[in-house]
Amino acid sequence: MKAIMVMFDSLNRRMLEPYGGNWVHTPNFSRLAQHAVTFDTSYVGSMPCMPARRELHTGRYNFLHRSWGPLEPFDDSIPEILREHGITTHLISDHYHYWEDGGCDYHTRYSSWEVSRGQEGDPWKADLRPTPLPEFLHNPRATKWLRQDWVNRSYMAREEDQPQPKTFALGEQFLRTNHSQDNWFLTIETFDPHEPYFSSQRFKDLYPHNYNGPVFDWPNYSRVTETPEQVQHMRYMSAALHSMCDHYLGRVLDLMDELALWDDTLLIVNTDHGFLLGEHDWWAKCVQPFYDEVAHTPFFIWDPRNRKTGERRSSLVQTIDIAPTLLQFFGLPIPSAVQGRSLSPTIERDEAIHEAGLFGQHGQHVNVTDGRYVYMRAPVRPDNSPLYEYTLMPTHMRHIFDVRELQDIQLQEPFGFTKGCRTMKIAGRASSESHAFGTLLFDMLEDPHQEHPLQNPAVEATMIDHLTRLMRQTEAPGEQYERLGLAR
């Protein structure tokens, strides 16, 4: 058995031709949809980058217990389980958060791994010479990140020197070397089309427009204050990078054809989340509620066992379902802690495997969807309290916890999924943004752009039932119910 997962970061569903993105050039995603099953109701779980990847490894939600961080000692990692059963697992990635404190043990779960450097502000090239920066359109990410990103770009004059092309070239090398071998799982993962929207000129040329302002391809995580022309320019820059992703996806599809991999190789194409490009008057993610542009994701699978092609599925699926799908494909038992379900019945006959699904980010709204309605439950207190982190790996994104955060730690009795381990219980970083937005309910059938929050007590009561049931199944800490004003 063989499997490939091609994973993009911040791939926007509405920019892909199979999902109605008719103004963005993505013919290879259309080609993929003709050869695979396309999921129309795919949602994120834990957000953002590393929490989503923890779900990929473990098949369970994690955002109710902790924020961004590494895999925990008690986590079941699917690449590691495969490796332990004689299946070679190989990771090729340019996602630089893997090489920081907050993602430091994901790649080591694989049998082997390769890396391409230079995305975003990745501390890659130590060029100490004075670096003249162009004029940027008010990006408060600070000179440090802008300078490092600009230094990185200076070493990528040719397209083949950029991280995404290098990542896919390594993927091609693996496939040409190993296509005739058996028992392997390859992950090709690129940071693109995550911002900044740095792409080759040939992809920008697909979207001609007049813009003569400062460099603007890296939006702030904030409300939109730019002009309509600037917003449209940013969307074109994002579209260009999506088209570049489409091109390199096409390289994988070419290899599937050339090497006859369709005959015996599972292919998964997915992303961790989407991105706001001015919708709801916001850029990005993580601050505002997780609107549909962020939470509702593109997702494709080719399964050589049932050979379903060109079909669509409407049943609700989530990131947590990928782990058990892989284990089931390789004929391995699924650990009891896994909350996801194998997607085989959904691929085969659109069988529903979830009545509803959770999604969210630690300390923000806790959200639930049943595929039609989306309910976003906000904290009831302006200070977003109480909030704690439960971990044995106390790191944030780029650094370990400050000693001041560790002065008053408690030991938490084991959760069912921690295999008898007690964890540290550490006061979390409370944020007030979610309370300010309030609780929201949307009918995605009648209001797909989430412009008119619904006031319907009966529907809200049903969604609260889904929410609390799933929180109980996830063993959500007691203070999460208190924070959200819910009965346990």
What pLDDT does 54 receive?
98
The pLDDT score that the predictor gives to residue 345 is 98
Question: Which helix (H) or strand (E) segment is 313 a member of?
Answer: strand 311-313
How far apart, in whole angstroms, are the C-alpha atoms of residue 368 and residue 174?
Answer: 39
- Point out which residues pair with 360 in neighbouring strands: 46, 366
pLDDT value of residue 284: 95
Q: How confident is the model at residue 142 (pLDDT cuts 50, 70, 90)?
A: low
Mean pLDDT of 210-220: 93
Q: How far apart are CA 242 and CA 8, in angstroms?
A: 10
Q: Is residue 141 pLDDT above 60, yes or no?
A: no
How far is residue 258's CA from residue 238's CA, in Å, rounded to a whole number?
30
| Joined tokens for residue 412 | 């938490």
Residue 411 has phi, psi (to 5 degrees) of -100, 130
Q: In the numeric block, which tokens belong to residue 480?
A: 């999460």
Quick one: how many helices (H) and strands (E) in the chain? 13, 21
With 0-12 / 13-18 / 19 or more C-beta atoms within 10 angstroms meaning exposed / middle / buried, residue 135 is exposed
User: Rounded to whole angstroms, how far apart are CA atoms 55 and 44?
Assistant: 10
Rounded average pLDDT over 186-207: 98
Give domain 2-355's CATH number out of 3.40.720.10, 3.30.830.10, 3.60.21.10, 3.50.50.60: 3.40.720.10
pLDDT at 145 exceeding the cut of 60: yes
Q: Are strands 2-8 and 184-190 parallel, antiparallel or unpaired?
A: parallel
HSE at residue 253, side-chain half, CA atoms within 13 A, is 20
Residue 170 three-state SS: helix
CB atoms within 10 A of CB 257: 11
DSSP secondary structure of 351-398: ----S-EEEEETTS-EEEE-SSEEEEEPPSSTT--S-EEEESS-B-SS
Residues 6+ apart with CB under 8 A from 69: 50, 51, 54, 102, 391, 393, 394, 395, 396
Phi then psi dihedrals of residue 373, to 5 deg: -100, 145
AA identity, residue 80: E
User: Are residues 405 and 418 in contact, defined by beta-carbon separation less than 8 angstroms?
Assistant: no
The mean-pLDDT minimum among 251-260, 310-319, 375-384, 432-441 falls in: 432-441
229 vs 132, higher pLDDT: 229
With a pLDDT cut of 70, the percent of the chain lying above it is 99
Per DSSP, the residues of 457-478 read HHHHHHHHHHHHHHHHHTT--H
Cα distances from 88 to residues 4, 5, 170, 269, 320, in angstroms, run 12, 14, 16, 20, 22
Distance CA 361, CA 454 (A): 23
Radius of gyration for the alpha carbons in the chain, expressed in angstroms and rounded: 22
DSSP assignment of 407-471 equals: TT-EEEPPPTTTTT--EEEEE----SHHHHH--EEEETTT-TT--S----HHHHHHHHHHHHHHH
Based on the number of CB atoms within 10 Å of its own CB, is 181 exposed (0-12), middle (13-18) or buried (19 or more)?
Answer: exposed
- Residue 59 C-alpha from the chain's centroid: 14
Least confident range from 387-396, 419-428, 429-438: namely 429-438
- SS3 of residue 208 by DSSP: coil
State the pLDDT confidence band at 135, using cuts at 50, 70 and 90.
confident
Question: What is the number of alpha carbons within 13 Å of residue 296 lying toward its C-beta?
Answer: 24
* Band of residue 204 on the pLDDT scale cut at 50, 70, 90: very high
**C-alpha span between 136 and 214 (Å, rounded):** 5
Residue 139, pLDDT score: 63
- Tell me: cis bond preceding 48? Omega within 30 of 0 counts: yes
Percent of the chain's residues with pLDDT above 90: 94
Q: What is the mean pLDDT of the chain?
A: 96
Tens digits of per-residue pLDDT, 303-361?
A: 999 999 999 999 999 999 999 999 999 999 999 999 999 999 999 999 999 999 999 99
Domain boundary assignment for the chain: 2-355, 358-484
Is 140 a residue whose pLDDT tops 60?
A: no
- C-beta atoms surrounding 179 within 10 Å: 17
Residue 378 CA to residue 436 CA, distance in Å, equals 8
Q: Residue 416's pLDDT is what?
A: 98
CA angle 466-469-474, nearest 5°?
Answer: 120
Q: What value does the mean pLDDT take over residues 104-121?
A: 97
| 390-410: b (≥16 Cβ within 10 Å) or e | bbebbbbeeeebeeebeeebe
231/225 Cα distance (integer angstroms):
9
Per-residue model confidence as pLDDT tens digits over 264-276: 999 999 999 999 9
pLDDT digits (tens, 9 = 90+) for 350-379: 999 999 999 999 999 999 999 999 999 999
Residue 238 clears pLDDT 90, i.e. is over it: yes
